[in-house]
Copies of this chain bind each other. A is one copy, B any other.
């Protein structure tokens, strides 16, 4: 890894395949990385532990976990106990796993930390290829958030600094992401992508995330290190750590 810069970056790190690759990219580009994760009312906390482990593995400068109960609003099968997380199906609609305004909330909180740290680079793993149709993963959204972020902040407004939102995976397929991460030395074994992982981080094998992840490893012609659970669905609530 070549240290080309000592600039600071906030990396949204959920503990999944995409965000771990994004962290590896930011590190590889020489950023001093601060990782941020959320316990937002999702149905399992395996990914929260995975994110902590991965942050440690990458020796990030600081890892923060913010608790915020979006489950109180409901409206998503990821946070609402009364809604089941669906199995993967081919679709041309936004699925029930969509969490209203989630990326906007996560990026806003990242922005708060970023301004405090004078970290003008925020990395997140939005993707428009093998993704589930979420509106807050599209380029037009990201550009608009970046503009808002600069108008919102002291440094973005008064200083010579400009906050930048980096989405290095935006146009890559899952296979391309895995190939890039592998090239950067990412070990995908500790990552947890599944929407219904159990507390041991074992995946259900049938949700959208499992589908795309499995397809990605298959396309890359690489062994899939995912641990699959014998019994899939898990309905534990993420607890604040």
Contacts and interface: CB of A to CB of B under 8 A. Distances in A.
Contact of A101 (B64, B72, B111, B117): B111
A152 B141 CA distance: 6
Contacts of A148: 104, 141, 144-145, 147-148
Interface residues of A, number: 45
A102 to B, nearest CB: 7
B152 A135 contact: yes
A73 B144 contact: no
A125 B105 CA distance: 20
A75 B135 contact: no
A112 B105 contact: yes
Contacts of A135: 151-154, 156-158
Interface in A92-132: 94, 98-105, 108-109, 111-117
Closest 9 CB pairs of A and B: A75-B116, A100-B115, A101-B112, A101-B111, A141-B151, A104-B108, A144-B148, A135-B157, A105-B108
